[in-house]
């Protein structure tokens, strides 16, 4: 009997855990829609159903992304503050404390605390070669000189006006613009490859700051004064404080479009149902950052028959991250009562449930 697939996306995860204490990473779209070709993996559950619910979980994917970091790609840097450490997974990367003080806006390590949290913006950085020698798409290696450009087209700068050693976001091509390099976390076993991968834990050295003074061209650190009002502290480049240990994570993805059953959905939000109601349906989800996942009819049915409820679906282009899905499936036969006279009632209940899912917000 054909499966009916009202699919339900609740949330998604596109990052991984590296298992580190200092930089333990993790990550956190109207209509029907969803996901992709890839290896399903996860927890077992019943496959007896005529209804399937597909959701992307909010927990971290427990596998380190294998993708090599390339020029032109975007990353987040997750760090566990030395001043307010957490034993749980770090979920938010370093970013900007948007309070406009006399020294301008500065970069910070979360959390800021309840009173300042609304002033924090997580940064996503596009990786570029300031010399132009490495073309976009080529692999980034440890020790390469990089410039990190955030979502507002700003870069790290250590000329913050009256306050020395701190790092803040500023326009490109200005004095103080920082070129940096990534190096393996010295507290961990050293990698065998020179290529940087998503999931690697690193320290960051300042190679140049486009100014005569080189006092601040040191390893980036996490620092705050005892009188500071923010919990996690700031990012500094003059050696004070503690090494800023970061994990390289993929950017957060937002759904751009969903293609299902010949329809294009442009306003899909996580948590809304996706009604497939066909064994031959193929679903494609396009995300920001030119990423997508594909779920073919065969893959969907294989997932339904696997006996699992949780599946990890990688991005279609082999990029880092993917979607963590939960699939609930019931066959029509399982909804029937041993009394044959109750079958119409069970079918009616299924139709009502499907209709309810279609209309869910």
User: pLDDT tens string for the chain (361 positions)?
Assistant: 344 444 443 333 322 222 333 344 333 333 333 333 333 333 322 222 222 333 333 333 333 345 899 999 999 999 999 999 988 888 899 999 998 777 789 999 999 999 999 999 999 999 999 999 999 999 999 999 999 999 999 999 999 877 889 999 999 999 999 999 999 999 999 999 999 999 999 999 999 998 888 888 999 999 999 999 999 999 999 999 999 999 999 998 888 888 887 888 888 766 666 666 666 678 888 888 888 888 888 888 888 788 787 888 888 776 677 777 766 665 545 444 445 444 444 344 334 433 433 333 3
Domains of the chain in start order, with CATH, are 6-15+26-62+252-358 (no CATH), 66-249 (2.80.10.50)
The confidence score (pLDDT) of residue 113 equals 93
Nearest to 144 by CA among 213, 205, 200: 205
CA dist., res. 25 & res. 250, Å (int): 10
The full 3-state SS of the chain, as one line of letters, equals CCCCCEEECCCCCCCECCCCCCCCCCCCCCCCCCCCCCCCCCCECCCCCCCCEEEECCCCECCCCCCECECCCEEEEEECCCCCCCCCCCCCECEEECCCCCCCCEEECCCCCCCCHHHEEECCEEEECCCCCCCCCCECECCCCEEEECCCCCEEECCCCCCCCECEEECCCCCCECEEEEEECCCCCCCCCCECECCCEEEEEEEECCCCCCCCCCECEEECCCCCCCCCCEEECCCCCEECCEEEECCCCCEEEEEECCEEECCCCCCCEEECCCCCCCEEEEEHHHCEEEECHHHHHHHHHCCECEEEEECCCCCCCEEEEEEECCCHHHHCCCCHHHHHHHHHHHHHHHHHHHCCC
- Answer yes or no: are the C-beta atoms of 158 and 216 closer than 8 Å: yes
The confidence score (pLDDT) of residue 21 equals 36
* C-alpha angle 9-10-14 in degrees, rounded to nearest 5: 85
Q: Which two tokens mark 279? A: 């064994």
- Answer yes or no: are the C-beta atoms of 150 and 173 closer than 8 Å: no
The confidence score (pLDDT) of residue 246 equals 97
Sign of CA dihedral 19, 8, 76, 321: positive
For the entire predicted model, the pTM comes to 0.69
Nearest to 248 by CA among 72, 167, 156, 127: 127
CA dist., res. 95 & res. 252, Å (int): 14
């Amino acid at each position: 009997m054909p499966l009916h697939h009202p699919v339900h996306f609740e949330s998604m995860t596109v990052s991984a855990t590296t298992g580190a204490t200092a930089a333990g990473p993790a990550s956190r779209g109207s209509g029907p829609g969803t996901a992709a070709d890839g290896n399903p993996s996860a927890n077992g559950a019943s496959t007896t159903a005529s209804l399937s619910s597909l959701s992307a979980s909010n927990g971290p994917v427990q596998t380190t992304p294998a993708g090599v970091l390339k020029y032109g790609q975007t990353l987040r840097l997750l760090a566990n503050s030395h001043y307010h450490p957490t034993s749980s997974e770090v979920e938010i990367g370093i970013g900007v404390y948007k309070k406009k003080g006399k020294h301008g806006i500065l970069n910070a390590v979360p959390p800021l605390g309840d009173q300042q949290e609304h002033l924090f913006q997580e940064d996503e950085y596009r990786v570029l070669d300031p010399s132009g020698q490495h073309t976009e798409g080529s692999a980034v290696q440890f020790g390469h000189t990089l410039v990190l450009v955030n979502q507002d087209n700003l870069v790290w700068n250590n000329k913050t006006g009256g306050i020395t050693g701190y790092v803040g976001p500023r326009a490109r091509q200005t004095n103080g613009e920082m070129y940096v390099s990534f190096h393996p976390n010295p507290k961990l076993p050293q990698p065998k490859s020179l290529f940087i991968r998503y999931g690697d834990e690193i320290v960051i050295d300042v190679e140049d700051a486009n100014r005569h003074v080189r006092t601040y061209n040191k390893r980036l650190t996490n620092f705050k004064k005892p009188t500071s009002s923010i919990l996690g502290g700031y990012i500094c480049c003059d050696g004070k404080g503690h090494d800023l240990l970061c994990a390289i994570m993929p950017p957060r993805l937002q759904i751009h479009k969903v293609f299902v059953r010949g329809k294009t959905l442009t306003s899909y939000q996580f948590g809304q149902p996706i009604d497939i109601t066909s064994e031959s349906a193929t679903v494609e989800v396009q995300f920001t950052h030119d990423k997508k996942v594909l779920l073919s009819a065969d893959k969907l049915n294989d997932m339904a028959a696997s006996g699992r409820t949780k599946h990890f679906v990688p991005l279609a282009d082999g990029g880092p991250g993917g979607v963590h899905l939960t699939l609930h499936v019931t066959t029509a036969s399982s909804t029937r009562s041993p009394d044959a006279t109750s079958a119409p009632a069970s079918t009616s209940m299924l139709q009502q449930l499907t209709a309810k899912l279609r209309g869910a917000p």
